[in-house]
Amino acid sequence: MPTTTPATSTITVTTRPIKRVIGAVVLGLGLVSCQVPERPLEPESSPEAAQQLTFESLRLHQADKNGQTVWKLQADKAVADVQTRQVTAQQVVGDIYAQGKPRYRVKAAQATVQEAQETLTVEGEITAEDIQDRTVIKARLLVWRPAQKEILLKGNLEFRQPKLQVKAQEAIIRLRDNRLSLRQQVQVTNQKPALRISGEALDWQWREGLVQALQPVQIVYTPEQLVVKAGGGQMDFPRQVLRLSQGVEAVHQRGRLRAQTVEWRIERQEVTASGNVFYTQTDPPLTVAGAQAEGNLAMRQIRVTRARTQVIPE
């Protein structure tokens, strides 16, 4: 019967360990092989010290059951704890692989690295760069789950592209379907169209340029200082269209529009609203309520169907 090779993790030591090691030592990260010094050093006196191995440099590598690399790291001045299966290292650099090819380049001046149950965890001041689209990510914690093809990120996250900046506290990158789930204090600053988006839960299909707001969201169109709030919705960046729902309020310095759903075509500044539409403006004073509306808020041109209009005298 054919046999299946289990996923493996190995550490290759490029220089001999500083502390004494006889033969080979098995860690949770895999097999540590090293050269024994010609003159063995004195053994450590404390039990805690005996559990740790200090290396001038080392390399860490994991492959899946098919022998494909899923991640590689190398580091300087590393301390490996045999009991906790944890490595503390300096100048950590390496790659996360997807479908056998490097996908993210990971760097950290100082980091704690741990591999358990086929999951890689790196904790520190981390910078990760998407090799495909050059998105630069900063985080405090990175967890790579090769089986699920997911990267979990936590702690003061920042995603940067030339025309886009995203901040959040937690995110999951799903490589299997190219989705980015952003959670907690999410802030998106986009240059074209010039939007600032904030909320607590946004899902991003980055190849299609679609953002789904799963919870209340606020959007500011900075050229017109138009502020829109909604319970949820979808933003289509390539077409510059926002489809908002669950109670929408758009506030401009010249007027205010409320409705259950609103489609906003940003480039032309056109809106289509439906469901309990209410529009008011100050110059000239006007209040309109109806079932549906369409027009341009910036130009104060709103047409409301089945309307009840109230003109406020000056």
178-219: pLDDT as tens digits: 899 999 999 999 988 899 999 999 999 988 889 999 999 999
**What are the distances in angstroms from CA 233 to CA 22, 177, 212, 268?**
62, 20, 6, 19
Half-sphere exposure of 288 (CA within 13 A, CB side): 23
Q: What is the DSSP letter of 48?
A: H
Share of the chain above pLDDT 90, in %: 52
pLDDT confidence of residue 115: 82
CA dihedral (226, 232, 238, 239) in degrees, to 10, reads -70
Instruction: In whole angstroms, give the CA distance from residue 261 to residue 234.
Output: 11
State the chain's mean pLDDT as an integer. Answer: 83
Instruction: In whole angstroms, give the CA distance from residue 142 to residue 43.
Output: 35
pLDDT at residue 288 is higher than 90: no
Higher pLDDT, 42 or 36: 42
Model confidence pLDDT, tens digit, residues 229-256 = 999 999 998 999 999 999 999 998 888 8
Query: In this structure, how many other beta carbons lie within 10 angstroms of the beta carbon of residue 183?
Result: 19
CB 253 within 8 A of CB 227: no
Instruction: In whole angstroms, give the CA distance from residue 220 to residue 35.
Output: 61
pLDDT confidence of residue 31: 35
Instruction: In whole angstroms, give the CA distance from residue 83 to residue 114.
Output: 12
Nearest to 59 by CA among 99, 24, 15, 115: 15
Measure CA of the first residue to CA of the last residue in the chain; give whole Å: 91
pLDDT confidence of residue 295: 87
pLDDT confidence of residue 79: 92
pLDDT confidence of residue 100: 87
What's the token pair of residue 217? 């969201």
Q: How is the chain split into domains, by residue range? A: 133-311
Nearest to 164 by CA among 130, 188, 138: 188
pTM for the whole thing? Answer: 0.81
pLDDT confidence of residue 12: 45
